[in-house]
Amino acid sequence: MKQLETVYNRAFWDGYYLGQKLGEWSDTSGSNATQKKVYVGKGRTFYAKSNIAEFLIEAYDVNVGDRVLIQGPTTGSQEMILEGMQVDQKPGDLKASKSDIITFKTDFRIRPSDKLYKIVENN
């Protein structure tokens, strides 16, 4: 149940199986998910020999240690912890902001159509 609560949902109920009618299952509107994805940027390049992904940050800051999600039509959904990155080709940076170009190691190929999201706790 804890893992299910992390995705978009309107709470869990016993449903029609126990005779409840529509509208009885949620006392709040919208999602009760415990976390959400926030758009950060878009893919640019993948360096296959070294398994390095490059992204342009367009919207939201990202930090080393953040949990990120990379999604694309061919890539699918790949979740990972950002263990290290270079910002604008400078090693050792811990934070990237809008208009920065970041590179980091991945175990999978990324494409220019891929989007980078940060997973954040829903308050």
User: Is residue 47 domain-shared with residue 12, that is, in the same domain?
Assistant: no
pLDDT for res 72: 95
Q: pLDDT per residue over 65-80, tens digit each?
A: 999 999 999 999 999 9
Query: Cα–Cα distance between 110 and 99 in angstroms, integer?
Result: 19
Q: Which residue has the higher pLDDT, 93 or 42?
A: 42
**Whether residues 109 and 52 fall in one domain:** yes
Question: Using one digit for the tens of pLDDT, what is the confidence trace for 23-38?
Answer: 554 555 556 677 889 9
**Mean pLDDT of the region 97-114:** 95
| Residue position matching structure tokens 């149940």 | 1
HSE-up (13 A, CA, CB side) for residue 66: 22
Per the structure, the count of domains in the chain is 2
Say how far apart CA 103 and CA 44 lie, in whole Å. 10
| 46 and 71 belong to one structural domain | yes
Asked whether residue 17 falls in the same domain as residue 45, the answer is no
Whether residue 58 sits in one domain with residue 5: no
**For residue 12, pLDDT beyond 80:** no
Q: Which helix (H) or strand (E) holds 91?
A: strand 90-91
Closest to 101 (Cα-Cα) out of 36, 37, 52: 52
Burial 33-71, CB ≥16 within 10 A → b, else e: beebbeebbbbbebeeeeebbbbbbeebebebebebbbb
Domain that holds residue 20: 1-33
Predicted TM-score (pTM) of this structure: 0.75
- Considering the domain architecture, whether residues 29 and 45 belong to the same structural domain is answered as no
